[in-house]
Amino acid sequence: MAEVASNGQASAQGGMPQLVLQKIYVKDVSFEVPGAPQIFQEFSGESDQVAPQVQLNLGHKAMDLGNGLYEVVLSVTLTCTLGERTAYLAEVEQAGLFGIAGFGAEELSGVIGSYCPNLLFPYARQVISSMVLEGGFPPFLLQPINFDALYAEQQRRMAGGDAPFQLNS
């Protein structure tokens, strides 16, 4: 069972792993419609343009803030194009502060690389959805992401000699 010190920090008493979510927040957000207002005519089907194409890019980074406190930032970039033109670009950096203690290096990497982004994703998905709708476009809901599989793939690539997961301090 997780223990929380009076200051909200995770404490690893007795060697038991501890994980405490302290805060979830939007670190950065951006929404752009470079072709407005003409792009709305094309997007609504009033033109003979091609169907919208959506590209999703995900990333995450973590920073050790000391005393078992980590900031994990999930970056989500959604780009919608019509042919060669960008209809909209939505970006969010959804962050969380996590008190993490008592994990080995491999387990800590897994918590930061899989569990934390998985916890942050629904918040980032809501921000993206709101921005797209408020930007004048039809609603868009990002599908769930399997961060466990993404982390496993990252570990597999690392074993093959690709760049490892980096924890910024």
The arithmetic mean of pLDDT across residues 25-34, rounded, is 98
What separation in angstroms does the CA of 152 have from each of 70, 77, 80?
21, 22, 28
Cβ proximity of 75 and 62 under 8 Å: no
Work out whether strand 53-66 and strand 85-101 pair parallel, antiparallel, or are unpaired.
unpaired
* Region label for 53, one of left (φ > 0), alpha (ψ between -120 and 50) or beta (otherwise): beta
Q: Which CATH class is domain 17-159?
A: alpha beta
Residue 121 in tokens: 């994703």
pLDDT of 128 higher than 60: yes
pLDDT of 1 higher than 50: no
What pLDDT, in 10s, does the model give residues 96-115? 999 999 999 999 999 999 99
Cβ proximity of 97 and 22 under 8 Å: yes
The arithmetic mean of pLDDT across residues 128-151, rounded, is 94
Q: Who has greater pLDDT, 1 or 4?
A: 4
Q: How far is CA 162 from the centre of its chain?
A: 22
Q: What is the pTM of this model?
A: 0.82
What pLDDT, in 10s, does the model give residues 60-79? 999 999 999 999 999 999 99
Strands laid side by side in the 69-82 sheet: 18-32, 85-101, 69-82, 53-66, 167-168
Please report, for the chain, the start and end positions of each structural domain, with discontinuous segments joined by +.
17-159
